[in-house]
Amino acid sequence: MSSSDPSPVLVGNHFIKMYYGTVLPNDPLELYKFYNEQSMFCHAKGNVEEESISGLENIKEKLKVLNLEEATVDLNCGSVDAQPSQNGSIILMVTGLIKLKMQPPKQFAQTFLLSPQKKNEKHHFFVQNDIFRLLDIIPPVLEAAVKKEISQNSPAEKNIEAGVKEKAEASEAKFHESAEKAKVIENPTETAEAVETAVERAVEKEREISEQNE
């Protein structure tokens, strides 16, 4: 990582805001604009093995069958880690909760490799690698047993369950509110270009501060 490269945290934060806060909840089919022909993409569930695909058209077709409409992501109970990699690339590791249409929230882990590419000598990144896994924290058999046990519990225990559900719904509502505030553009079709512009502004600001301190 050279001194002229933007920090991984800076790039990662702008990318996360765009990917999860703007494009995914508004127009998930537009997520393909973060990728290109060199990109590798894998979207798997639980412990099921999933073959990676490559190429922009294949990724676009895959996004159509993932049923991401109305998907929302909560990172308040997760984490985002960023590290520099070779040739100016950046590795992002993201964990959190994702709620898909007509499904309860589930934990997920997603790893991105953001690779730089020259575009008018500006800092421009695309998703070189993307590995997403929906985590089955509670195996289906155990989950069914827990639900059966709950149905036979006392009213007091059911009230506890309702309280937990209420807190989860409140947390989800809070995330929606914070996601709205985190949006950096109103038009989700600008995606990668908006990330590039935001990063450029932040880099320029860092340079101004550095020059003032000299």
Over residues 18-59, the pLDDT tens digits come to: 999 999 999 999 999 999 999 999 999 988 889 999 999 999
208 three-state secondary structure: helix
The per-residue pLDDT for 29 is 95
The per-residue pLDDT for 115 is 94
Mean pLDDT of 61-68: 94
Q: Which amino acid is at 137?
A: I
pLDDT band at 69 (very low <50, low <70, confident <90, very high): very high
More confidently predicted of 89 and 193: 89
Those residues with Cβ within 8 angstroms of residue 162's Cβ, 6 or more apart along the chain or in another chain: none
Dist CA 158 CA 163 (whole Å): 9
The per-residue pLDDT for 77 is 85
Handedness of CA 95, 97, 99, 105 (dihedral sign): positive
pLDDT tens by residue, 135-184? 976 555 556 655 665 566 545 445 444 554 555 455 555 555 544 544 43
The per-residue pLDDT for 117 is 81
What stretches of 152-190 show up as alpha helix (H) in DSSP? 155-182
Mean pLDDT of the chain: 78
pLDDT band at 122 (very low <50, low <70, confident <90, very high): low
The per-residue pLDDT for 124 is 85
Dist CA 149 CA 96 (whole Å): 28
Residue 89 confidence (pLDDT) above 90: yes
C-alpha gyration radius of the chain:
20
> Given the structure tokens 């880690």, which residue do they identify?
81
Other CB atoms within 10 A of residue 193 CB: 14
Other CB atoms within 10 A of residue 189 CB: 12
Task: Name the token pair of 22.
Answer: 């703007």
Inter-residue contact 77 to 87 (CB < 8 Å): no
pTM for the model? 0.67
- Provide the terminal-to-terminal Cα distance of the chain, rounded to the nearest Å: 22
Q: Which residues are registered as beta bridge partners of 13?
A: none
Strand ranges for 3-144 from DSSP E? 40-45, 53-54, 72-84, 90-99, 106-116, 125-134
Task: Name the token pair of 179.
Answer: 């996601």
